[in-house]
Amino acid sequence: MADIPAGRPATAALAFDADVWEQEVERFGDRSRPRAAAERARRELERSGPGGRDFQRCAAEGDDGTRLTACVKLYVPLDRPSSEAPYGFVFQVGVDDGPPRRIELSLLAFGERHPAPGTRSVYERAHKRLHGRYPDQ
């Protein structure tokens, strides 16, 4: 993937790979709170696009051993402050050479941000997708 030249505005696009969506979101029951929240957030993102959203950079190296360089997170539900949003999406940032060239945010993981012991966090799930194993393995 190439850099976007300086001085040229970049467009951004979201990518929700069908297999990733199935593994990350559809693992929850049809009427479960997490799945409903993810589906609602995706509809809103696809309708309005990623602009103006509060994407935050993931820690390159987290206290939990996760390594999420070049990743951003978005809290779900989208209309709540982070302190009230129990779920999150993690996207990998890349550049699609197009045309037109654009920044692409590809879904890596969805899940609970701070789950109960014994449940993997969205950050651990994203780490596994990137590195082939959970951080504690």
CA dist., res. 6 & res. 23, Å (int): 37
Helix, strand or coil, per DSSP, at residue 75: strand
Lowest mean pLDDT among 34-38, 39-43, 78-82: 78-82
CA dist., res. 114 & res. 119, Å (int): 9
Pure H helices in the chain: 18-24, 33-48, 122-131
CA dist., res. 37 & res. 57, Å (int): 21
For the chain, the distance separating the N- and C-terminal CA atoms, rounded to the nearest angstrom, is: 30
For residue 124, give Cα distances in angstroms to 27, 64, 134. 16, 8, 6
Confidence of residue 102 (pLDDT cuts 50, 70, 90): confident
pLDDT at 3: 45
Which residues, 6 or more positions from 77, have their beta carbon under 8 angstroms from its beta carbon? 37, 40, 41, 85, 87
* Residue 109, burial from CB neighbour count under 10 angstroms (0-12, 13-18, 19+): buried
pLDDT at 4: 45
**Cβ atoms of 102 and 12 closer than 8 Å:** yes
